[in-house]
Amino acid sequence: MREELEHELERVRGYRADVPEPDGATVATARVQLMEAISVEPVPAGAPRRDRPTRRRLQRLQRRRRFALAGGLATVGIGVGGALGLTTAATPVSALAAQMNQLANVAASQDWTGIPGPGQYLYTESSGLTSSDTVGSNNQMCTVSQVEHRQIWIATDGSGALNDTRGQSRFTSAADQATCAGMNISDPASQNSSWTARFPAGGLSLPTNDWRSLSTDPATLLQQVHQRDGGPDTPAELFTNVGDMVRESDVPPVIRAALYRSAALIPGVKLLGTQTDPTGQTGLGVGYPYDGGQIHSELIFDQQTGRLLAEEYYDPSGALTSWYSYTQQRIVDSVPDYPMEQNHAKAEAQTSTDQSQSPTAATTTSSAPPQAAGTTTG
């Protein structure tokens, strides 16, 4: 018995020598989990859990660019489970999976911007090419292309501010110019706009205030993100869900890493290699195609930081129709003193593409309302 005890003690003494030191990604993951645990206020036993504000309204205010499942874009309703079931553990590692795994490792090793504390806001700045539609009394629509500069401040309670400026408007085609002329719009510059507003609690939204509730398993996380973000059960929508989570978001590095690995599980996603956006930023591109194979939408990631650099959208002919570049993100202690926006319905009418449009009055809407965006600098 004594010899057996001595043998067990020797095994215990030698245990640590048999355990390798954790790698950088493991240390980074543990650090993020510790920071997140510290930042979350304790909830007393028996206290009701507060659900996050609904994102239905903010899917309009914060540019949730859902795929329009028409015009040749894939519409196969296979369901989230069906989509994930097409990639199994026995599937050979593809070039896409290898690159996304490498990007995930980079993302996991980065410092975290963190969750905004009381009185703080997550600030994100972006710019890009968008378009705006003016709908006339006879249901005619004047469409112009615009250069957009956008700043947004978001607190965990949904309060914050928005500054959205659109200029350099131009007609998108001769047909559009003729339509606009029929609505007495001869100068595209007349469609330039600038909009600033502050929002009360619940007026804006981060993807979630409870990152710890999300799994770090890529397949499970993809299902959770789809359930939170919504939309049809299609691979196209899953790709959109991934993009939605990293725009104007304080997503922790460990969750960002799992999201990138999950993107490789989505059927149809293509590895595009090194890509350069219209502002000159270069990174790793992945995209989702139309049925014919032409890329419909693309996400470009910084391979040095794992951050989202840009997103681009194309028509079926391959022409670039819109793009968005993300340049700054940080936590700040204040917001500009813009007018308080109390009428969310009015704000939606200014930025939404899916609201009801009156046939008796001219209204201006955006075909790509202000975006929720991830960005490039911590």
**CA–CA distance, 336 with 163 (Å, rounded to integer):** 9
What is the model's pTM?
A: 0.71
pLDDT of res. 87 = 46
**Cβ neighbours, 10 Å, residue 156:** 21
- For 278, the token pair is 């219209």
Closest residue by Cα to residue 243 from 187, 311, 296: 311
3-class SS of residue 18: helix
**CA–CA distance, 154 with 248 (Å, rounded to integer):** 8
pLDDT of res. 185 = 93
3-class SS of residue 34: helix
Poorest-pLDDT segment among 24-33, 134-143, 223-232, 306-315: 24-33
Ramachandran bin of 141, using left for φ above 0, alpha for ψ from -120 to 50, beta for the remaining angles: beta
Q: What's the average model confidence in pLDDT over 188-206?
A: 92
pLDDT digits over 232-267, tens only? 999 999 999 999 999 889 999 999 999 999 999 999
Angstrom CA distances, 301 to 54, 289, 325, stand at 28, 18, 11
pLDDT digits over 310-349, tens only? 999 999 999 999 999 999 999 999 999 999 986 543 444 3
- 215-224, 351-360, 361-370: range with highest mean pLDDT: 215-224
Angstrom CA distances, 341 to 160, 163, 199, 226, stand at 10, 12, 5, 30
**CA–CA distance, 348 with 57 (Å, rounded to integer):** 7
Poorest-pLDDT segment among 1-15, 87-101, 278-292: 1-15
**CA–CA distance, 374 with 253 (Å, rounded to integer):** 12
pLDDT band at 301 (very low <50, low <70, confident <90, very high): very high
pLDDT band at 140 (very low <50, low <70, confident <90, very high): confident
- Whether 245 contacts 225, CB under 8 Å: yes
Question: Has residue 50 got a pLDDT over 50?
Answer: no
The conformation of residue 28, written as its DSSP 8-state character, comes to H
Residue ranges of the alpha helices (H) in the chain? 2-18, 24-39, 58-61, 79-85, 95-108, 174-182, 218-229, 235-246, 253-263, 344-351
Q: What's the average model confidence in pLDDT over 90-108?
A: 86
Across all residues in the chain, what is the average pLDDT?
A: 75
Ramachandran bin of 63, using left for φ above 0, alpha for ψ from -120 to 50, beta for the remaining angles: left
pLDDT band at 29 (very low <50, low <70, confident <90, very high): very low
